[in-house]
Amino acid sequence: MTGSLTIVGLGPGSPELMTPAASSALCQATDLVGYATYLARVPIVEGQTRHASDNRVELDRARHALALASEGRRVVVVSSGDPGVFAMAAAVFEAIESGEAAWRALDVRVEPGVTAMLAAAALAGAPLGGDFCAISLSDNLKSWDTIERRLQAAATADFVIALYNPASQSRPHQLTRTFELLRQWKAGSTIVLFVRAAGSTDARLNITTLAEASAAAADMRTMVIIGSSTTRLITREGAIPSVYTPRSEISRP
């Protein structure tokens, strides 16, 4: 039997936001590999083996999954959101590139998922209506200098900026520093969104401005979206305001 490896995105939280293709890959697996918190979101299928591992050892986990697949198992590696966005899919390809020659012959597929940025944006309205970019504030895998350079480039190019990993226990000051930097280039009135647990039943949206934004509003399950100069808010009677970025940046006569 030829083994296979599918890297599956579970979506941001609620089962309704998992794609049917992801569910079907999960059902067909003989082995599931991933962080215990994500595996806990996968319905139990009898006869499947679960390999839970710590979140910090992505490359080891990828190698373990590839070794199982080369023994002929149908392996699924799970990620939250989309597996290609700051997650396991790139780690698997990195492991293939630097690993055993036989791993290149394996049937490897990526099954996309709804990434946190999209679930968070949908809750607020349409803040990603214009050009946007995504930056991870985690400096585990890149230097803080690189992050600051990208923040400046994104801010001065007037992108909407979606921040993944805004807070970490080891470095709680990253988001405070990010807001300080962005205030140099962007207006204090720029809309800032904090969305916690987007795409799940306990999702929470907090709308503020860059002048008022405080890092204390974010934790590891929060997505921060910083508007462009055209991102705006519509107040609506009896409902939370809607935030959107107009499609058009052309001023018409």
Q: Of the listed pieces 28-36, 113-121, 176-184, 206-214, which binds ligand SAH according to CB under 6 A?
A: 113-121
Contacts with 106 (C-beta within 8 Å, 6 or more apart), sequence order:
2, 3, 4, 5, 66, 69, 70, 96
d(CA 129, CA 104): 39
Question: Contact between 174 and ligand SAH (CB under 6 A)?
Answer: no
28, 26, 39, 91: which is closest to 65 by C-alpha? 91
Question: Contact between 129 and ligand SAH (CB under 6 A)?
Answer: no
- Residues 2-41: x where in contact with ligand SAH by CB under 6 A, - otherwise, as a string: ----------xx----------------------------
d(CA 9, CA 62): 15
Length of the chain: 253
What amino acid is encoded at 215 in this protein?
Answer: A
Least separation in angstroms between residue 84's CB and ligand SAH is 8
Least separation in angstroms between residue 248's CB and ligand SAH is 28
Between helix 174-185 and helix 144-156 the angle, nearest 10°, is: 30
Least separation in angstroms between residue 253's CB and ligand SAH is 41
Least separation in angstroms between residue 200's CB and ligand SAH is 6
Contacts to ligand SAH by CB under 6 A = 12-13, 79-82, 85-87, 115-116, 120, 164-166, 195-200, 220-223
